[in-house]
Structures are given as structure tokens and as C-alpha cells.
Amino acid sequence: MSKRDYYEVLGVSKGADEKEIKKAYRRVAMKFHPDRNPDDPDADEKFKEATEAYEVLTNSEKRAAYDQYGHAGVDPNMGGGFSGANFSDIFGDVFGDIFGGGGGRGRGGPQRGADLRYTLDISLEDAVRGATVEIRVPTLASCDTCDGSGASPGSQPTTCGTCGGAGQVRMQQGFFQVQQTCPNCRGRGKIITDPCKACHGQGRVEKSKTLSVKVPPGVDTGDRIRLTGEGEAGPEGGPPGDLFVQMSVRQHPIFERDGKHLYCEVPITFTDAALGGELEVPTLDGRVKLKIPPETQTGKLFRLRGKGVKPVRGGTVGDLLCRAVVETPVKLNKEQKALLEQFAESLGQGGKSQSPRQTSWFEGVKSFFDDMTS
């Protein structure tokens, strides 16, 4: 599959300067970032495409080669690329600026910490109304003893003599130069001769921290809240990652949620269903009166407008839909059974009009068997 033009990907002209390119990348990255588009299978590829375009167009050597030779000029599989190019971490340059990361740095320098995910189990009431919840999160925090350097107090890591602090070494293989992780410092760019005893030279220690999470009204299962800088501390004193708090709404004993609408079943007596009546039904705002019209059948939906959920991303408040369930009386005494038998006999005198659904069902069954035998 052919690649799209990098200028077209970012939506800039060929004469755009670095500031324009960076601004355009911010816009595209925010639009197609996978975290913002979990249900879009194409978002990840579009995000990677934009990142690749940004990396080329903000590097003067790569951009010159691209302008002259197109994609072939920057594709290492086609002989492109540069032995002296600085392959900086794109996420520490622009992507980190957007989502809370640190500034640009070499591969051997401090790197951004990992993002964390925490699943928050909340009630339907808290999801609808909003709440402030305290959570306890295990994470890797910067070591207080060595301030994240990994070296014992009073000492400092020294620059690796093999890679000169770059964390990468280049090896010549015929006409090509191969860049790989420095075997001496393992990509860190520094050597720790006297490791910190508290963190064993890692610069980070395991800790648990308590955070206060403000849950906005209207969230639903799968929604995420981003807490910038509350993820793992970065290696070698690098900036921390982010914490994503993912909502999981518990099942409710009465209500079932579908988007902005709520559903519940309302049991009604045989007499209320036949003669009509008035019931009190629950809502998340309190009890309300529900008028049951005569001849109500099981399955009839009663809509209470504005008694649902206001979506977290805005819009009108949903409704509460109450489904009527006609309840058959149980544990009848002899007198009640006799009255029902008398009532059943009276229904037989009324003809088919008093049981329209039963009548149409039996007619359908009769038609079914007639078709089988014909």
C-alpha cells in the first residue's frame, strides 16, 4: 500500500516552517490518538502516520531528502536514512507536550515513566450524579534518597565511556552503519559505580499513594479520567507518566442503564392491570406517581421524561422507561379460587373481545397446523 504525502497527512504546505508543522501535528495527534478513539480501528494507523510525518518534516536532513526523493529518500529499507541523524524520541518532543510528558531528549537521557490504569468500581448513583472518590494506587515513585539518580548520596552517575552518554553505539557493516543499544550502559548513557542502597541503583522504589478522583456526572462503564503526572516515575529522574482511571459501573438492583436512558420493571397486580390504578415508582431523584390505565398488558412501557441520565459529554437528559409486569396472584384460598373460577366463567360469556391476544395466538397456531397438513 502506497504512503500518503507527509505534507498532506499533517495538512500543511511544503513551505511550512517547524512551528506550523508542530502545531499541525498537535491537532492531528489529538484527533486520532488511540486513547481518544478506542472504538476506531483506523485511529492507531492514522496516529502513527502523523507521527512518522512529523519526525521527517522536523528533521532538516530528512526533510531535504524527502523533498527531493519522496518516501524513498527516508526509507532505510530503500537505502535512505542518515548516519548522523538524531533519532529523537518523538513522544518526548511534541506528543509529551500535549499529554503532559517531558521535553525532547536523547535515547540515553531521562525518559518518561509508564502510564498506569486503575479500574474504579462505582455505583450507578455516583455515576449519574458525580462523586469524589479516594483511590490507592501502587506505583513506582522516584527514590527520595538519591532523588531518582540511582547513585548513593554524595556520588553521581558518570558518563559512559563507550557511547559518550548517547546510550547508542554505531557499528559499520559494509556500506551501512547500524545503530544499537550500548552494551556497557545498556542504553542509559551513564554508569553508576556506587548504587543507592534504597533503590539498588534503579532510581525508583515501589510505593502506594492515595489520590482523590473527581468523577463527573454522567460517566458510564468504559469512560476514562486522565490524571496527568500520576503514573510511574520516569527512569533516571525522568518525568512521570499518567494515570488513567477507567469507570466500571456496578449492576443496580432496580435500574438498568442504556446510554442516557434508564429502564426498570414495575410489577402491577392483576386488578390494577385490568381496572387501572396509581403506583409509586422509584427514580434516582425520589418517588413519583405512575398512573396505570385500564387493560394494561405485560410489557407496556411508561416513559418518565427527564428522569434518566445527563450524558457526561453534554446533551439532553435521558428518560426512565418503566416496563409493566402483570403479577399472577399466588397462595389463593378456597374463596379466592372460587371467585376466580366464577370470573373465568363470566369471561367465557363475553366472547373473544376480552382476550384479544389469546384469541389471535390460537388462530395463528391453528393456521400453522393447517399449513402443515395441507
**1-85 and 256-373 share one CATH topology?**
no
**Secondary structure of residue 267 in the 3-state scheme:** strand
Superfamily for the 256-373 domain: Urease metallochaperone UreE, N-terminal domain (2.60.260.20)
d(CA 108, CA 297): 72
Instruction: Give the amino acid at 43.
Output: A
pLDDT > 70 in the chain, percent: 84
Whether 46 has a pLDDT exceeding 50, the answer reads yes
DSSP per residue over 106-124, as a string?
Answer: -TTS--PPPPEEEEEEE-H
| Run of H or E including 289 | strand 286-292
Predicted confidence at residue 276, as pLDDT, reads 93
- % of the chain exceeding 90 in pLDDT: 37
Q: What is the pLDDT of residue 165?
A: 82
Phi and psi at residue 290, in whole multiples of 5°?
A: -125, 120
Angle of helix 60-69 versus helix 43-57 axis, rounded to 10: 100
Q: Quick one: average pLDDT of 121-150?
A: 91
pTM equals 0.58
Amino acid identity at 150? G
Instruction: Locate the domains of the chain by residue range.
Output: 1-85, 256-373
Give the sign of the dihedral formed by CA 123, CA 129, CA 134, CA 140. positive
Give, in degrees to the nearest 5, the angle at Cα 28 between 24 and 34: 155
- pLDDT of residue 196 exceeding 70: yes
Mean pLDDT, residues 59-78: 76
Residue, of 110 and 168, whose pLDDT is higher = 168
Closest C-alpha among 252, 258, 285, 232 to residue 115: 232
pLDDT of residue 173: 59
Instruction: Supply the pLDDT for residue 217.
Output: 94
pLDDT confidence band for 211 (50 / 70 / 90): very high
Q: Is the pLDDT of residue 95 over 70?
A: no
- For 260-284, what is the mean pLDDT? 93
Task: Please state the rounded mean pLDDT for residues 175-196.
Answer: 80
- Identity (one letter) of the amino acid at 132? T
Q: Which of 65-74, 212-221, 299-308, 337-346 has the lowest mean pLDDT?
A: 65-74
Lowest model confidence (mean pLDDT) among 86-100, 149-163, 190-204, 236-250 = 86-100
In this predicted structure, the answer to whether residue 216 has a pLDDT above a threshold of 90 is yes
Residue of higher predicted confidence among 167 and 35:
167
What whole-number distance in Å separates Cα of residue 257 and Cα of residue 219? Answer: 11
Grid coordinates of 163 = 557511547
Q: What is the pLDDT of residue 150?
A: 86
What is residue 85's predicted lDDT score, i.e. its pLDDT? 34
Among 2.130.10.10, 3.40.50.300, 3.40.1160.10, 1.10.287.110, name the CATH number for the domain at 1-85: 1.10.287.110
DSSP 62-106: HHHHHHHHGGGGT-GGGT---TT-----HIIIIIHHHHT------
Contact 307, 281 (CB under 8 A): no
Give yes or no for a contact between 6 and 66, defined as CB atoms under 8 angstroms apart: yes
Bigger pLDDT: 95 vs 187? 187
Q: How far is CA 255 from CA 101, 264, 373, in A?
A: 41, 5, 47
pLDDT of residue 349: 61
Confidence of residue 339 (pLDDT cuts 50, 70, 90): very high
Output the nine-digit C-alpha cell for 179.
545503530
Structure confidence at residue 177 as a pLDDT band (50, 70, 90): low
Q: Over the chain, what is the mean pLDDT?
A: 82
Lowest mean pLDDT segment, chosen from 141-145, 184-188, 362-366: 362-366
Model confidence at 1: pLDDT above 70: no
Min mean pLDDT across 142-146, 164-168, 194-198, 220-224 is at 164-168
Which of 285, 136, 133 shows the shortest CA–CA distance to 215?
A: 133
Short-list 7, 99, 12, 89, CA closest to 53? 7
Position 316 scores a pLDDT of: 94
Burial of 241 (0-12, 13-18, 19+ CB in 10 A): buried
- Cell output for 285: 431523584
Task: Name the pLDDT band for 370 (thresholds 50, 70, 90).
Answer: confident
